[in-house]
Structures are given as structure tokens and as C-alpha cells.
A and B are shown apart, each in its own frame.
Chain A
């Protein structure tokens, strides 16, 4: 919806500038970018609220301890950066259905929600399996 007036930057420029950010991260923080470990640490923090003893014993939460780290702040930053960029350029839109999705699968928000949730679950399992 309403994407015709929405002039963005070249993906080459956006990508190259992101590359510069990644280099500076390695230089000044010694950190390589990523996102999926944050989901492990976050769910570990949630599970710990219910059963701290169990989480403390689980191999994967020993390997990726449930805590706020550099990457967690990086992922939070992505949200804030995107919010700033979209609101300052008038491209922020509350959207429940992507255009391409709606054209193919119709206007049901429930259908989109179920597929998006399932897709997220599968994608994250795969990402962790590949250690990505």
C-alpha cells in the first residue's frame, strides 16, 4: 500500500554503509553482527521466570547464557533505527498484511498470523541448527 511515493535509498548504498557499521563494530567493540542468538537468550530469560533451576541445567542455556548482551542491544537498536527512519520520512505504516501476501492469500489476518508464527518458529530452529 502506498509505496509509489516512497523513494528509498539504493540498496548498494544502504548495504555498503551497513558494512562500514559492521567494520566499526569489530574494531571498537570486537563484535560481529548477528540476531538469532538474542532469541535464545530472551526465551531463556522468559523460561527462567518459571523454572530457574531447569534453565540453569540446560546445555544450550549454559552455552548461550540468558542475559542482555551486545547483540541484544543491537537487535533492539534495529527496531529503534527503523522506527526513526520510517517516522522521520513519513513511510511508517501500520500494516497487518504485506501486499504480495494479500494478493495471493487474501485478507485474513488470522491466516497471516498463523503462517508468520509457524514460519518464525521453523526459521529460528533452522538458524540455530546451522549455528547462524
Chain B
């Protein structure tokens, strides 16, 4: 029960920040895809860089464990391409479609309904996908530091510096 309350609080804070930063908008999401407005990329990458440092600190302190998703090239690549096609049509991703509804953008509702149907269709297709696409290029639960055989604190600063360089470039180009 306490876990459910934590989920609700985390979601409310995230939804609040998404709305305040104006990222739950079709125009912002399509703007990023059309390389016109990098607002959502700034938001996503900022949250990733901050959580990367925080989560690995918790890991080192023994306060958390990683939850690594398996790398399956067939599923990751094909799924990513298919997701991108749908995202470009809808203009909201699963979490932001719900957030968009919260600020009155009710075209997100059609997206949410489509997503429920898409999830249902995937459940139907899963038995055959599991035997085909989801076996192609299966590397299991790997991480970049583990594959390179380096400590994560060698990799994390590189990601942070790469992210900050990208931010600097976005601002220079006024994207």
C-alpha cells in the first residue's frame, strides 16, 4: 500500500514538472522530431544525467539495486523504429499523453485509447514474437560499464560532459 502511495506522489511531482516545463505538448514533441525545438531533449537528458549520478551513488552505498532491461537487438531496433513511427503520428509518448490530458489537451485521449488497443494486440502477438524477433541478437542484461570492463565512474562523467556539450550547442543554435 505504501508503495502505491509513493508511486502516486512521484507521478504527481513528475506531472507537475512536465507541465511547468511545457514539454507535454504536441508542438514541442514534433518540434524535437523536426529538429526545430529541443525543449523535450533538454528535459529528458537533464533528468537522465541527474538520475544517472544519483542512482549509481545509491548503488555504491548499497542503498539500491539496478533493474537492467535485457538488450535484444531485434526487439530494441524494430520496436524503436515502430515506436518512432507511432510517436510521430500521435505527438505524445505514453506518459506525456496522460499528462497532456491533465492540461486539457484532450486529443491525447485518442492516443491513450489507441495505446490500450496496441498493448492488447502486442499481448496477442507475444507468443510468436517471443520465438522470432525477441530472440534476435539477445545479449541479456548488460550495461555499458560492464561491456567495456570499466568502472561506472569512468563512464558517467563522459556522459555528463557529452550532455553538457550538447546543451551548450543547443543554446548556441537557439534550438
Interface string of B124-146 (1 = CB under 8 A from A): 11110110011000000000000
Known: A15-B21, A86-B19. A92 touches B103 (CB 8 A): yes
Q: Say whether A82 contacts B16, CB under 8 Å.
A: yes
Bound together, the chains give a CA A86 to CA B82 distance in angstroms of: 32
Q: Say whether A20 contacts B11, CB under 8 Å.
A: no
A contact patch SS: helix
Interface positions of A from 74 to 117, Cβ below 8 Å from B: 74-86, 89, 91-101, 109, 112-117
Does B79 have its Cβ within 8 Å of any Cβ on chain A?
A: yes
User: Which B residues lie within 8 Å of A17 (CB)?
Assistant: 13, 17
Q: Say whether B27 contacts A100, CB under 8 Å.
A: yes
Q: Least Cβ distance of A114 to chain B in Å?
A: 8
User: Which A residues lie within 8 Å of B25 (CB)?
Assistant: 98
Q: Say whether B94 contacts A123, CB under 8 Å.
A: yes
User: Which A residues lie within 8 Å of B11 (CB)?
Assistant: 73-81
User: Which B residues lie within 8 Å of A47 (CB)?
Assistant: 120
Bound together, the chains give a CA A130 to CA B104 distance in angstroms of: 30
Partner of B98, one of A75, A85, A115: A75
Extra A-B contacts (11), CB below 8 Å, given A15-B47, A79-B102, A93-B103: A15-B42, A19-B49, A20-B54, A26-B51, A70-B3, A75-B94, A93-B104, A96-B106, A117-B117, A123-B87, A130-B76
Q: Can you offer 17 A-B residue contacts whose CB atoms are under 8 A? A: A15-B46, A19-B47, A19-B48, A80-B12, A81-B17, A82-B15, A83-B15, A85-B20, A97-B107, A115-B89, A116-B110, A117-B111, A123-B82, A125-B118, A131-B69, A131-B79, A132-B80
